[in-house]
Structure formats: structure tokens, C-alpha cells
Amino acid sequence: MAGRKVGNLLGLAVLSYLSRRPMHPYELSRTMRDNDDARSIKFSHGSLYMVFRQLEKAGFITEQETLREGQRPERTVYALTAEGRAELRDWMRELVAEPAHEYPRFVAALSLIAALPPGEVTELLTERRRRLAERRAAIRRLIDDATAAGTHPLFLVEEEYRLALLDADASFVAGFIERITDDWGPLWEAHHRSQGAPQEEEGAS
């Protein structure tokens, strides 16, 4: 993705929506909000307009017409170019087929977890499990409600993926708690104290 003229995933969303029909940025923003796309792609009114400019400069979209409705400001309607359609297909193929190295916050915390004492980590992980369960239940309700309303499963696949990630997270956390409790606790506590923890506690009191 680093070699792409536009690397922001919001650009991919714009290309995808414009592949259906030409739109002006405000209409596309409203469509994304109606579809709750903010759950998957971070965007704002300002960032969307910026991405439109980037895509136009790259030759992926082009102005089709300018409209004015009543007293509202003029709005420029954009259409996908042939280059934009090719970029959409190539970008999607890359994202689906090629795993990318990402930097999740929890992974960063795990890489530095020895900075906390094992007892506190166990408490925090237990709280994480509770919150994961709450989030899973909310997504499950969303899927069930959408399915009951007639939404095709194809349009819920990202929610199913979120459930799988939450299940994997919860399973890892449960195993981590077990290892801390059964095996790692004493060694971890000794390591934590060797890093100056007693002095910090005495100073705090």
C-alpha cells in the first residue's frame, strides 16, 4: 500500500461507492454514515473532502457536473475514471490476499507488560475479558437484528470477522491469566521488584 498514489483507506471507500454511481462528497458522506461505515473506516467531513482532492489529482476520479439545489451551495459531482476502477480492483485484491503488519494497541501493551506487577495485570485482564464479552454481545445483537430485517449475510461479513477477533482475544486473555496464576506469577513478581518497584511503593506511601 505504501506505493499507492492515495494510501488512505477512506480513498478506497470513495472509489467503491463511486463505482456504483457518481456522487458529490456530501452525498457520499451521508451514505457512509447511513451505512455505519465509521465502524470500519475512520473519516470526517474534512478528511473526506481532502481524499476527494487526492483521488482527483491521482486521476482516479473526475468532475462530472456541478449542481445547485435551491439556496444551497454548489456541489460538484464526481465520477470514477477507468484508472480509478482499476485501482479499486487492485487495492481490494491486495487487502484481501496479503496480510499486513499492523500495530494494535493491545500488542504494544503486551510487549511491555512486565512493567506492571502480575497481580495487577491479572485484574486488568479480567476486566478486559468482561469488556470483550460486552462488545461481543453488542455485535451479536447487531447481526441478529440485521438478519431479522432481511440483510444479506454478505453485508454482515465484517461483523462476523469482528466476532472472530473478539473470540480469539478472549481465548488468549483467558490462557494468559491461567499462565500468570499457575506458572509465571512468582518469577514475574521477582522481576518486577528487581526493577525498582519496592522503592516506588515506599515513596508513594
pLDDT digits (tens, 9 = 90+) for 156-174: 999 999 999 999 999 999 9
The yes-or-no verdict on residue 202 having pLDDT over 70 is no
The yes-or-no verdict on residue 185 having pLDDT over 80 is no
pLDDT tens-digit series, residues 15-33: 999 999 999 999 999 999 9
Percent of the chain exceeding pLDDT 90 equals: 75
Query: 203: pLDDT confidence band, cut at 50, 70 and 90?
Result: very low
Contacts of range 48-57, beta carbons closer than 8 Å, 24 or more positions apart: 48/10, 48/14, 49/25, 51/6, 51/8, 51/10, 51/11, 51/14, 52/14, 52/25, 52/78, 54/5, 54/6, 54/8, 54/11, 55/6, 55/11, 55/14, 55/15, 55/84
pTM for the whole structure: 0.82
